[in-house]
């Protein structure tokens, strides 16, 4: 079975160690067939590291972010979404190394790295 997760994240900056995901969207493609997408927003975990340039790029304002769910709540939804497919995914997309780094970071920041390993292959496309 070939399973790819085409991912796009919007973030509060460029560094996965200090910045956070504010939007996570993806489409799984399993054996060539697309499945329902995931698209959720969350607050940054660290409000003090929001880079104004990131807001210029994606247009998600601080005021908008204040109304979003917590990163933990979004991660719960994402894990439940991935579990439905019962497979490991290769992360794919336009800038997949950037997205993969931020995905790994959100799992790590929420003490859930073991779940990241459950859902994602070490191979990257």
Given a cut of 90, whether residue 117 has pLDDT beyond it is yes
Q: Answer yes or no: pTM beyond 0.85.
A: yes
pLDDT tens digit string along 55-109?
999 999 999 999 999 999 999 999 999 999 999 999 999 999 999 999 999 999 9
Q: Within 13 Å of residue 103, how many CA atoms lie on the same side as its CB?
A: 30
- CA angle at 55 for the pair 68 and 125, rounded to the nearest 5°: 85
pLDDT tens digit string along 8-55?
999 999 999 999 999 999 999 999 999 999 999 999 999 999 999 999
Per-residue pLDDT, 46? 94
Given a cut of 50, whether residue 125 has pLDDT beyond it is no
Per-residue pLDDT, 88? 96
- Second CATH level (architecture) for the domain 3-124: 2-Layer Sandwich (3.30)
The partner residues of 114 in beta bridges, in order of sequence, read none
DSSP annotation of 87 reads S
């Amino acid at each position: 079975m070939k399973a790819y997760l085409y991912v796009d994240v919007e973030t509060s900056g460029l560094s996965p160690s200090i910045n956070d995901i504010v939007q996570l969207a993806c489409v799984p493609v399993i054996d060539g067939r697309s499945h329902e997408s995931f698209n959720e927003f969350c607050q940054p975990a660290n409000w003090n590291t929001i880079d104004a340039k990131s807001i210029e790029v994606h247009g998600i304002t601080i005021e908008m972010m204040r109304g979003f769910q917590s990163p933990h709540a979004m991660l719960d939804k994402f894990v439940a979404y991935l579990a439905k497919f019962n497979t490991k995914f290769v992360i794919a997309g336009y800038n997949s190394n950037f997205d993969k780094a931020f995905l790994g970071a959100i799992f790590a920041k929420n003490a859930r790295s073991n779940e990241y390993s459950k859902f994602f292959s070490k191979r990257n496309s």
